[in-house]
Amino acid sequence: MPLLWVLRDVLGLKGAKYGCGIGICGARTILEGHTAVRSCQIPLAEASQKAYTTIEGLSPAGDHPCQRAWIEEDVAQCGYCQPGMILTAAALLAHSPNPTDAEIDKAMSGSVCRCGTYNRMRRAIHRAAEGSRR
Amino acid sequence: MKVTRRSAVGGGASLALAFFLPRCEDAAFLFFEPNAYIRIAAGGSITLWIARSEMGQGVRTNLAATLADELDVDLSKVTLRQAMPGARFKGIRLRTSGSGSSSATFLPLRRAAAAAAREMLVGAAARRWNVPAESCRSESGAVVHRGSGRRLSYGELAEAAASEPVPKNARLKDPSQWRYIGKPVRRVDARAIVTGKAVYGIDARPAHALVAVIKRCPHIDGKLRSFDAAHAAAVPGVKHVVPISCGIFPGVAVVADTTWSAMKGCDALTVEWERGAQSSFDSGRHMQALAAAAAQEGFPIRRDGNVQPASDSATARLEAVYQYPLQAHAPLEPMNCAADVKPGSCEIWAPTQAPETAYQNAMKRLGLQEDSVEVHTTLSGGAFGRRLFVDYADEAVELSKAIGKTVQVIWRREDDMRSGFFHPASIEKLSAALTGGKIAAWQHKSVGSDLSMFGLASDEEKKDPEHYAKNEEPWGAFDTPYNFKDLKVDYVPVDCPVPTGSWRAVQYPSRVFARESFLDEVAHAIGQDPLQLRIDLLRPGDILVLGSQKIERTRMIRVLETARERFAWEQAFSVPHRLAGKGIALNIYSADSYMVQIAEVSVSADSGDLKIHRIACAFDCGLPINPTGLQGQVESGITWGLSATLHGKIDFRNGTAQQSGYHDFRVIRMNEMPLIETYIVPSDAAPGGFGEHPVAPVAPAVANAIFAATGQRLRELPLSLA
């Protein structure tokens, strides 16, 4: 069983979403260390002995710089893609604390937001980067 | 706790006002409910029931802010609950459609709910203090007596307020006193969303529920012939394999203890389908049929003047045909619904735009009484018109009844792409007679298909030549806003066996694409500036009355003039080493929201690669209830429109939709996103519908910009440069 369904159906952690099941929409993004990975493409057997972070565990109080920036920039519309987007952005910032627009495009374009919140996400990522530097 | 209905009064058009006064000794449970929407508890808490579905448009935020202002409480003190069909909301519309969730609820909520409640609270305080009500005023959750400074909180007044007479015409607050309305208010549910705690339909599965994934007939007009459950039943975790017939496409449900087992079971299932007369449907042939039907006379939609004399004497004539393909919705959260059918009752958890339809359907299907069905409307992970129909809820109810257990139906992405309903394809044929560098006559023939999900027109109805004109259809053609002295609009409906229905902006996108593109063609042909030509065609700035609509041309002119200046229309757009240009398009949504978009694009002269740099959007949507929400909807609608402009298309071969996911039904992603600039033209007109509005002008604005850049006129969506 892919990790996505273990999280959702067995562990009851529903922050990672089902969008396409084939790894091209991004809704199922979780972190392995500081890298964004596709939970719908990771068989449970491959996950053993590894540590993953879901949106529920990104920060205890829900105040990771990305989460704060997302609220401040009023990013979310329907919100369904946003946990995956936030984790993808968190991974980007972990690797590249002050990303350029091109880096943001590269990191974020594996994910779909059907509501079209992309420009606000971009602003939120820049804001989170600034917030982390302070 | 016994709740008795004290009195019921009319007032506030769409709101049923009723009093509930609990007789209860425990003060914590005492509350004042001036109507179905609001509860003010003796403990001081304020609850607002949201009678629309949140699907990203921000209705929960907008209505909470509206209540907070008119009731005079702090927004952070308002707790939201989702309205459920039946009982408390019997006879009250919960359906979310037509871009009206905030705009249509705004005034009724202010007047009947919030203002009336506030007046009653003030009245109760005045009575308590034995002073005239005029000497008291509300102040952030309390009533204050001006003279003495005495103060009682709403909580303290809750019980007494319930005995106050209901004001027939409660006085609204003066807009100068608004703290929230008209100012940017961020989403009230943002924290839940960013922490992953927001509950969508797919997350709302009851703990003990099983999961069903349905193998659906791959082609239209099919029937189940037979199935062999053996392999599916052998998959660990699979509990039931059951045919299901009530959906848009028939199927066989595999019910398991986890989603994965249900999916695996579905893969293992062998089904034989029977093909019907339409099962060889081909969308390419359908487009040809539409094009051929353009020769038919069709139904008269608009007749301004008489196009014949002007056409006969014209010195030049321009004609063009535009094409719009079938489209899918592809919301990120696939269709799903959980149902728990028990003897005599049914509970449903659905991400839906139409909870009352799910409620009625369940009652009918199960033969249940009013109020024995409960529908919990969850958040929707995008809806866009798809969730206006409740086939997924019907399926969950049918299945739960069949297996006698609680079950959640989850659609796979490929089912969501192929087995729902679609935006119909259309052909738009336009022609203009030109005399002396002016438009002498304008003709628009729209050839498309009615939306079968809403029920097709009967043969009897179609005998009435005015049938479509009376329905003010097709949108974007019927309500052509321009002052063409001689105008002829016709509609030719062509049967389409593919299920078709509402898709964001419904009938506007294809007609506005054609109308606004063709006007650009004419502008270039007669050597006029496309923006100025539009202004000229809206003169004398009168009110155009069309059926139920009153199009205020001055508002549209003002938006155009504002856009010209603010977005520097007359300044050329250039990009080094690339062909660059800008294009303009406008639309008026239901006569109450006026919008113009200007696109700036560039094309590589070598590779033909297209880049959309910026889309600037100016609009007058009446009073902007929440500017940041409106800007978000502009970004959202433009992204939606751009996906269709550049990528979106569903092809049918042999009755089967060929696209199955985001890999072959591409949508805009971050790397393709242009800058979007918005400007809200101030207005104190009544708030207009908005969530769909920005979709339609995108395609023509971009196509017109491509023409300006390259001289290539693209008339077929998705746009494809030669």
Instruction: Report the 10 Å Cβ neighbour count for B559.
Output: 23
Instruction: Report the 10 Å Cβ neighbour count for B524.
Output: 18
On whether any CB of chain B is under 8 Å from the CB of A5, the answer is: yes
Q: In whole angstroms, what is the distance from residue B205 CA to residue B210 CA? A: 9
On whether any CB of chain A is under 8 Å from the CB of B526, the answer is: no
Q: In whole angstroms, what is the distance from residue A107 CA to residue B529 CA? A: 41
CA distance B673 to chain A (A): 7
Domain regions of chain B by residue span: 2-177, 201-277+335-410, 283-327+422-710
Contact assignment for B258 to A5 by CB distance below 8 Å: yes
Q: In whole angstroms, what is the distance from residue B334 CA to residue B660 CA? A: 12
CA distance B56 to chain A (A): 3
Structure tokens at B629: 């929400």
8 Å CB contact between B415 and B491: no
Summarised one tens digit per residue, pLDDT across range B339-350 is 999 999 999 999
Domain regions of chain A by residue span: 3-133
Grade residue B290 by pLDDT with cuts at 50, 70 and 90: very high
Whether B547 has a pLDDT exceeding 80, the answer reads yes
Interface of B with A in 413-442 (CB under 8 A): 413
Summarised one tens digit per residue, pLDDT across range A26-80 is 999 999 999 999 999 999 999 999 999 999 999 988 999 999 999 999 999 999 9
Summarised one tens digit per residue, pLDDT across range A116-133 is 999 999 999 999 999 877
Residue with token string 């359906």 = B95
B228 - beta bridge partners? Answer: B270
Whether B534 has a pLDDT exceeding 50, the answer reads yes
Q: In whole angstroms, what is the distance from residue B422 CA to residue B327 CA? A: 6
Q: Give the chain B residue whose CA is nearest to the CA of A86.
A: B194
- B633 SS3 class: helix
Report the pLDDT value the prediction gives residue B19, as an integer from 0 to 100. Answer: 40
Prediction ipTM score: 0.98
Cα separations (Å) of B616 from A108, B169, B678?
24, 41, 6
Chain A partners within 8 Å of B54 (Cβ):
78
Contact assignment for A78 to B331 by CB distance below 8 Å: yes
Chain B partners within 8 Å of A25 (Cβ):
332, 413, 661-662
Residue B85: which of B357, B352, B311 has the closest Cα?
A: B357
Picking from B196, B384, B413, the nearest residue to A21 by CB comes out as B413
Q: Among B103-112, B287-296, B546-555, which stretch is predicted with the lowest mean pLDDT?
A: B103-112
Fold type of domain B283-327+422-710: Aldehyde Oxidoreductase; domain 4 (3.30.365)
Report the pLDDT value the prediction gives residue B16, as an integer from 0 to 100. Answer: 30
- The DSSP result for B347-399, as a single string, is EEEE--S-HHHHHHHHHHHHTPPTTSEEEEE-B-S--TTGGGS-HHHHHHHHH
Q: In the sheet that B316-324 helps form, which strands lie side by side, from edge to edge? A: B299-304, B487-493, B438-448, B426-435, B316-324
Contacts of B690 (CB under 8 A, 6+ apart): B99, B102, B103, B589, B593, B621, B630, B633
Torsion of CA B550, B52, B166, B33, to 10 degrees: -170
Mean pLDDT calculated for residue range B353-361: 97
User: Hey, what amino acid is at B73?
Assistant: V
Interface of B with A in 316-335 (CB under 8 A): 330-334
Q: In whole angstroms, what is the distance from residue A62 CA to residue A55 CA? A: 9
- Determine which helix (DSSP H) or strand (DSSP E) holds A5, and give its type and residue range: helix A3-5
The CATH architecture one would assign to domain A3-133 is: Orthogonal Bundle (1.10)
8 Å CB contact between B435 and B481: no
Fold type of domain B201-277+335-410: Aldehyde Oxidoreductase; domain 4 (3.30.365)
Summarised one tens digit per residue, pLDDT across range B206-244 is 999 999 999 999 999 999 999 999 999 999 999 999 999
On whether any CB of chain A is under 8 Å from the CB of B203, the answer is: yes
Whether B22 has a pLDDT exceeding 70, the answer reads no
Torsion of CA B179, B180, B181, B186, to 10 degrees: 160
Grade residue B31 by pLDDT with cuts at 50, 70 and 90: confident
8 Å CB contact between B720 and B712: no
Picking from A1, A55, A62, the nearest residue to B258 by CB comes out as A1
Q: In whole angstroms, what is the distance from residue B692 CA to residue B713 CA? A: 26
Summarised one tens digit per residue, pLDDT across range B396-418 is 999 999 999 999 999 999 999 99
Q: In whole angstroms, what is the distance from residue B496 CA to residue B517 CA? A: 26
Q: In whole angstroms, what is the distance from residue B51 CA to residue B60 CA? A: 9
Residue B624: which of B47, B48, B65 has the closest Cα?
A: B65
On whether any CB of chain A is under 8 Å from the CB of B201, the answer is: no
Domain B2-177 has CATH 1.20.1050.10: no
Interface of A with B in 63-82 (CB under 8 A): 66-67, 70-72, 74-82
User: Hey, what amino acid is at B232?
Assistant: A
- Determine which helix (DSSP H) or strand (DSSP E) holds B578, and give its type and residue range: strand B578-589
Summarised one tens digit per residue, pLDDT across range B625-671 is 999 999 999 999 999 999 999 999 999 999 999 999 999 999 999 99
B299 - beta bridge partners? Answer: B491
Calculate helix-pair angle for B508-525, B530-538, nearest 10 degrees: 110
| Helix, strand, coil % in chain A, rounded to nearest 5 | 50, 10, 45
Grade residue B111 by pLDDT with cuts at 50, 70 and 90: confident
